[in-house]
Amino acid sequence: MTGLQEHLHGLWLPLITPFRDGALDERSLRRLTRHYSGQAVDGFILGATSGEGMTLREAELERLVAIARDELTTGHSKLPICLGLSGADTSRLKERLDETADWPIDGYLIASPYYVRPSQRGLLAHFEALADHAAWPLALYNIPYRTSVNITNQTLLRLAGHPNIIGLKDCGASREQSIALLRDRPADFRVLTGEDANYFEALSDGADGGIVLSAHLETATFAAVHAELKRGNHDAALARWQEVADLTRLLFTEPSPAPAKYWLWRAGLIDSPEVRLPMVEIGSELAVQLDCEIERRMQVAA
């Protein structure tokens, strides 16, 4: 079992990437990393969907990783970092694996090829080629409503036998498929849900954890849901889940991560709610809803 495999469970945070005036906001990034390294999270995903990775230039992505690792090291934190990569060109992705091989990361989260809609044989060959080439272990990312192709369980189970493929971020949108995968997977193949609204359901079904954008907020509560279920306390876990279930829907009212960035800005964790086109900042109606929810939760906490 690899080092990353041992840590690929529990609550992982797909960290947002803060921007200000069109540039990477390094001060806010350091503040975010310090803050969440002190929370009950088990690892970070950098530069993936929630981190607006497809808008990041290579130098920005490298800087993002370097700053996050520096803050973790300074704070004596050993939390692992996975780098999000995506693309539809296998050869180019192999080049990206070479270019990032000496970065201070612990593994990769690699999404299915988008737009080209390869066959299952194509997906198998694509991921095997990347796993054979990568210096760090891979977690796969199945999200067919973004890529237009589903990695079937038959393909996933074959890929799970590769020594350098250690897990899956599951956004397959089929509970039936997810349950079957959890039943049939090898014991050391980790499955984490990436569907915020289904976090409790997936954990109840046996998922090892979640990669949850909403856990930027109420982080301790999301962690407690996992901890209570792991202890077998279903009712206690459900009670904690009910504290945040509405939040997982509110934060996706408009395209993510714009709502979460607005909340983090209002909370003082980042200096701007800025996103990069084609994302836009949230509209005034949602801003009012979020402000009301922030105020309500502050009153409850008081």
Question: Region 214-226: what's the mean pLDDT?
Answer: 98
Q: What is the pLDDT of residues 252-288, one digit of tens each?
A: 999 999 999 999 999 999 999 999 999 999 999 999 9
261 is catalytic: no
User: What is residue 173's predicted lDDT score, i.e. its pLDDT?
Assistant: 83
Per the prediction, the chain carries an average pLDDT of 97
Q: Is 50 annotated among the ligand-binding residues?
A: yes
Question: Region 98-124: what's the mean pLDDT?
Answer: 97
CATH for 3-243? Answer: 3.20.20.70
Q: Which residue is catalytic, options 36, 169, 199, 261?
A: 169
Q: Is 112 annotated among the ligand-binding residues?
A: no
User: What is residue 182's predicted lDDT score, i.e. its pLDDT?
Assistant: 98
Cβ atoms 288, 276 nearer than 8 A? no
CA quadruple 36, 38, 41, 44: dihedral sign: positive
Q: What is the pLDDT of residues 116-173, one digit of tens each?
A: 999 999 999 999 999 999 999 999 999 999 999 999 999 999 999 999 999 999 999 8
User: What is residue 2's predicted lDDT score, i.e. its pLDDT?
Assistant: 59
| CA distance linking residue 221 with residue 41, whole number of Å | 11
pLDDT band at residue 3 under the 50/70/90 scheme:
confident
User: What is residue 156's predicted lDDT score, i.e. its pLDDT?
Assistant: 98
Q: Which residue is catalytic, options 141, 199, 261, 262?
A: 141
169 is catalytic: yes
Can you name the residues that pair with 10 across neighbouring β-strands? 209
DSSP state of 291: H
Cβ atoms 182, 202 nearer than 8 A? no
Residue type, 293: E
| CA distance linking residue 108 with residue 33, whole number of Å | 19
Q: What is the pLDDT of residues 41-75, one digit of tens each?
A: 999 999 999 999 999 999 999 999 999 999 999 99
| CA distance linking residue 96 with residue 174, whole number of Å | 31
**Does residue 302 carry a pLDDT above 90?**
no
